Amino acid sequence: MSAGETIIAVRAQPGARRDEIVGLRDGVLVARVSAPALEGRANQALCRLIARALGIRRSQVSILRGERARDKLIRVEGVDRDYIGDTFGPAG
């Protein structure tokens, strides 16, 4: 992992009523997106949601693992772990 890069575990819930970050559960970020889990639409919506919540560009957020699963590893570039923790709440 390079400087300015953070990896976070995310549990995605596609097909929700609205896009929202639910919070951290046991150190895993839980996020809901309205896009269906079809042709990568939910993944794109998830990356946009995380980028918007952190105030960064969409291109700074990418999926490392779990493109076809609900549990994912997401790479966030240019943001440190403390900022992510402050934004989404303490890991619990």
pLDDT of residue 91: 47
Is pLDDT of 3 > 60?
no
Written as six digits, the tokens of 75 are 């790479």
* DSSP summary character for residue 85: H
- What pLDDT is attached to residue 4? 82
Residue 89: how many CB atoms within 10 A of its CB? 14
In sequence order, the β-bridge partners of residue 63 are: 74
Per-residue pLDDT tens over the stretch 6-55: 999 999 999 999 999 999 899 899 999 999 999 999 999 999 999 999 99
Q: Number of H helices and number of E strands within the chain? A: 2, 5
Single pTM value for the model: 0.89
DSSP 34-49: SS-SSTTHHHHHHHHH
pLDDT score recorded for residue 82: 82
